[in-house]
Amino acid sequence: MNSWDVVIVGGGHNGLVAATYLGRAGARVLVLERRDVVGGAAVTEETWPGFKINTYSYVAGLLRPEIVQELELAKFGYRTILYDPQYCMPFPDGRALKLWVDADRAATEIAKFSARDARAYPKYVEYWDHVLELLEPVMLAPPAPLAEMFQMFSTPETETLVRDLFLRSAQDLLDEWFESDEVKAVLAPNAVIGTLCGPNTPGTAYVLAHHNVGNLDGHSQVWGFSVGGMGGISRALAAAATDAGVQIRTGVGVRSLVVDHGAVTGVETSAGEKISARVIASNADAQTTFLKLAPADSLPAEFVKEVRGIRSRGAALKFNAALSALPEFTADPGAPSDAHRSTVDIAPSLAYMERAYRDALEGRFSDRPFIEMLFQSALDPSVAPPGKHTMTCFVQYAPTQLRGTDWESFKPQAADRILDTIAEYAPNIRNVVEHFQIISPPDIEATLGMTGGNIFQGDITPDQILSFRPVPGWAQYRTPLRGLYLCGSAAHPGGGVTGAAGHNAAQIILEDLRGGSDGSPGVPS
Ligand SMILES: Cc1cc2nc3c(=O)[nH]c(=O)nc-3n(C[C@H](O)[C@H](O)[C@H](O)COP(=O)(O)OP(=O)(O)OC[C@H]3O[C@@H](n4cnc5c(N)ncnc54)[C@H](O)[C@@H]3O)c2cc1C
């Protein structure tokens, strides 16, 4: 059979979530993934024999618990490990600040840096719990129009919240809560991760909120590992999809959408195969979908202009390594130590991060980069050969284009800079690295199709979230082409391995397949 209810372009985790919900509802669904592996940015690859590397995304926690339950992902192999401490930040003076999951225990560590901040920290955690109570329900539903959304914020307290989250920088927010540079530093990375912004850029308080919605083992505001690597999430999703009757074809890229009188009727693959469907859901980003896959002139010029204006800049690279042993951190001696069982962030102050950002604005890889490092093998031995370890580093700032050179030529220098920076805190790092790879923003774009190498399929700053995502007027997963939907992180609520965009898109598609009850365009029958 060559005609489907739904063809999903791209088997990223969101495409798989959408496919599973649609398949379970009885739709005949085909997923076409260009790569030989499903999962998009949520994959684990055996880059070197025995070493299972999280090539792109590396920490779990954002996947909505509702999706985990509804799709029975545990039955299909989904397992996570909550790590504790969550963060271990080493400082040049040899001290380390560890943030434990338990707020009181974390406060005891913070007291070594500031008694006042130690008192503030449990209240800060409560503050985020309160914010997340408002944000979490918004994630698993199409975004309300802005005017409606703002009605939620009608009291002075909630007005303050809007100002803090959407208009302020992470620095503004953290300055209000804390006095110690070290405490602010350990709380700041989530505000800029993957985003070409510094901690002083207005709007980064929202980026912080976006990354605080993690939920694992009943704990909120936390990160953990997917057992076996991030690919474990995608494998569980693919198994759930297959169980729901979905067909998944890998190694099949979509070259173009087939459009007839303003409606999509199918796709043409790179091999020239034509596949027809009532609905096409694109897991590719908005620029790829509308500027590359949709036939030229099939979309309104104003819409195309908006899509061209989506900010999708690279900010980071990955440095992944196979290690013969764990490196020793001067600030947290021993191997393994707490550092290896947590996220180690090298970014000792907000000023350090801001400087690193400013280098990238000038088209340079940061002279002193912000490095987020994890050693999954220290808690999950399944990802490395016995006695050996993995290290994954998310390194900022790495602009999409380097001034005066290109990424391929620059990679050896970038590697030296990264290893030199790590060596300031873990002097034996060079002795333990057996292999490494650098995945630059152009590599991310070439392999996954994420425009500019932007890890979220478009920045998640306040001007590009909620009803602004992907562009104003089109935040309900539908598009100007009848029967075409977005189901990936280019749509609300944006990036991260949340599954939310796939979930929400599936609900809208089902509504439309059943007849467009809410005045929606419906889909061709
Ligand atoms: C380097 C990096 C680090 C990250 N770290 C984290 C992290 O630690 N934790 C976290 O939660 N999030 C992280 N993120 C973000 C998160 O991984 C992404 O937001 C999320 O995985 C995106 O999922 P998606 O399904 O929306 O899209 P994608 O993962 O982009 O999937 C899109 C899929 O579509 C396929 N495709 C594209 N075009 C075509 C075509 N024409 N035909 C067929 N197939 C096509 C692609 O190959 C891909 O498989 C990271 C991302 C990156 C890149």
Q: The tokens of 227 are what? A: 């057992």
**C-alpha to C-alpha distances, 164 to 131, 158, 169, 200, nearest whole angstrom:** 11, 10, 8, 13
Q: What is the mean pLDDT of residues 252-273?
A: 98
User: Ligand 1 pocket, 236 CB below 6 A?
Assistant: no
Percent of the chain residues past pLDDT 70, beyond the cut: 98
User: Ligand 1 pocket, 289 CB below 6 A?
Assistant: no
Q: How far apart are CA 313 and CA 454, in angstroms?
A: 5
Q: Do residues 393 and 371 lie in contact, with contact meaning Cβ atoms separated by under 8 Å?
A: yes
User: Ligand 1 pocket, 280 CB below 6 A?
Assistant: no
User: Ligand 1 pocket, 499 CB below 6 A?
Assistant: no
> Is the pLDDT higher at 419 or at 165?
419
| Segment 234-243, tens digit of pLDDT | 999 999 999 9
- pLDDT category at 518 given cuts 50, 70, 90 is very low
Q: How far apart are CA 273 and CA 270, in angstroms?
A: 7
User: Ligand 1 pocket, 55 CB below 6 A?
Assistant: no
pLDDT at 337 over 50: yes
DSSP-H helix ranges across 289-349:
301-308
**Residue partners of 504: CB distance under 8 A and separation at least 6:** 140, 141, 142, 477, 491, 492
What integer pLDDT is reported at residue 146 of this predicted model? 85
Task: State the Cα torsion 57-59-64-66 to the nearest 10°.
Answer: 120
* 456 Cα nearest atom in ligand 1: 19
Q: How far apart are CA 420 and CA 57, in angstroms?
A: 24
Say whether the peptide bond before residue 336 is cis (omega within 30 degrees of 0).
yes
CA nearest neighbour of 78 among 220, 224, 214, 222: 224
Pocket test for ligand 1, best of 489, 503, 504 (most atoms within 8 A of CB): 489
What integer pLDDT is reported at residue 1 of this predicted model? 44
CATH architecture of structural domain 3-41+228-311+456-513: 3-Layer(bba) Sandwich (3.50)
**DSSP-derived secondary structure for 335-379:** SS-GGGGSEEEE--SHHHHHHHHHHHHTT---SS-EEEEE-GGGT
Quote the DSSP letter at residue 112.
Answer: T
Continuous segment of H or E residues that includes residue 181: helix 181-187
Burial annotation 199-235 (CB, 10 A radius, 16+ → b, else e): bbbbbbbbbbbbbbbbbbeebbbbbbbbbbbbbbbbb
- Mean residue pLDDT of the chain comes to 96
Match 């998640």 to its residue by tokens: 460
User: Ligand 1 pocket, 347 CB below 6 A?
Assistant: no
User: Ligand 1 pocket, 11 CB below 6 A?
Assistant: yes
Q: Do residues 97 and 121 lie in contact, with contact meaning Cβ atoms separated by under 8 Å?
A: no
Q: How far apart are CA 232 and CA 81, in angstroms?
A: 12
User: Ligand 1 pocket, 417 CB below 6 A?
Assistant: no
User: Ligand 1 pocket, 398 CB below 6 A?
Assistant: no
User: How big, in percent rounded to 5, are the helix, strand and coil portions of the chain?
Assistant: 40, 20, 40
User: Ligand 1 pocket, 327 CB below 6 A?
Assistant: no
Amino acid at 312: S
User: Ligand 1 pocket, 450 CB below 6 A?
Assistant: yes
pLDDT at 3 over 90: no
What integer pLDDT is reported at residue 2 of this predicted model? 66
Q: What is the mean pLDDT of residues 418-422?
A: 98
> Atom 10 (ligand 1): residue with closest C-alpha?
496
What integer pLDDT is reported at residue 158 of this predicted model? 85
Q: What is the mean pLDDT of residues 462-490?
A: 97
* 501 Cα nearest atom in ligand 1: 26
pLDDT at 392 over 80: yes
Quote the DSSP letter at residue 144.
Answer: P
What integer pLDDT is reported at residue 517 of this predicted model? 46
User: Ligand 1 pocket, 120 CB below 6 A?
Assistant: no
Q: What is the mean pLDDT of residues 291-299?
A: 97
* 282 Cα nearest atom in ligand 1: 34
Q: How far apart are CA 224 and CA 79, in angstroms?
A: 10
Q: What is the mean pLDDT of residues 422-445?
A: 98
User: Ligand 1 pocket, 57 CB below 6 A?
Assistant: yes
Q: Do residues 237 and 13 lie in contact, with contact meaning Cβ atoms separated by under 8 Å?
A: yes
**C-alpha to C-alpha distances, 471 to 80, 96, 309, nearest whole angstrom:** 34, 43, 9
Q: What angle do CA 10, 138, 74 make, to 5 degrees?
A: 55
What integer pLDDT is reported at residue 499 of this predicted model? 98
- Of 143-157, 268-282, 428-442, 476-490, give the lowest mean pLDDT range: 143-157
- Report how far ligand 1's centroid is from the alpha carbon of 114 (Å): 39
Q: What is the mean pLDDT of residues 85-111?
A: 98
Rg (CA), the chain: 22
Helix 441-448 and helix 407-423, axial crossing angle in degrees, nearest 10: 120
The span from the first CA to the last CA of the chain, in angstroms, equals 17
- Report how far ligand 1's centroid is from the alpha carbon of 513 (Å): 27
User: Ligand 1 pocket, 18 CB below 6 A?
Assistant: no
Task: Specify the 3-state DSSP secondary structure of 415.
Answer: helix
User: Ligand 1 pocket, 497 CB below 6 A?
Assistant: yes
Pocket test for ligand 1, best of 14, 211, 283 (most atoms within 8 A of CB): 283
> Atom 34 (ligand 1): residue with closest C-alpha?
10
What integer pLDDT is reported at residue 157 of this predicted model? 87
Match 């031995």 to its residue by tokens: 381
Task: Specify the 3-state DSSP secondary structure of 435.
Answer: strand
- Of 155-159, 271-275, 287-291, give the lowest mean pLDDT range: 155-159
Continuous segment of H or E residues that includes residue 7: strand 3-9
pTM over 0.75: yes
> Atom 35 (ligand 1): residue with closest C-alpha?
10
- Report how far ligand 1's centroid is from the alpha carbon of 39 (Å): 7
User: Ligand 1 pocket, 399 CB below 6 A?
Assistant: no
| Segment 163-208, tens digit of pLDDT | 998 999 999 999 999 999 999 999 999 999 999 999 999 999 999 9
Q: How far apart are CA 509 and CA 79, in angstroms?
A: 29
* 293 Cα nearest atom in ligand 1: 41
CA nearest neighbour of 73 among 85, 65, 62: 65
- Report how far ligand 1's centroid is from the alpha carbon of 280 (Å): 18
Q: What is the mean pLDDT of residues 374-387?
A: 98
Other C-beta atoms closer than 10 Å to the C-beta of 403 total: 8
Q: What is the mean pLDDT of residues 39-46?
A: 98
User: For residue 303, how far is the Cα from the chain centroid?
Assistant: 26
> Is the pLDDT higher at 153 or at 39?
39
DSSP-H helix ranges across 53-163:
65-70, 103-110, 115-139, 146-151, 156-162
pLDDT at 297 over 70: yes
Q: Do residues 396 and 319 lie in contact, with contact meaning Cβ atoms separated by under 8 Å?
A: no
What integer pLDDT is reported at residue 519 of this predicted model? 39
Percent of the chain residues past pLDDT 90, beyond the cut: 90
Q: Do residues 488 and 12 lie in contact, with contact meaning Cβ atoms separated by under 8 Å?
A: yes
Amino acid at 255: R
User: Ligand 1 pocket, 9 CB below 6 A?
Assistant: yes
Q: What is the mean pLDDT of residues 148-165?
A: 86
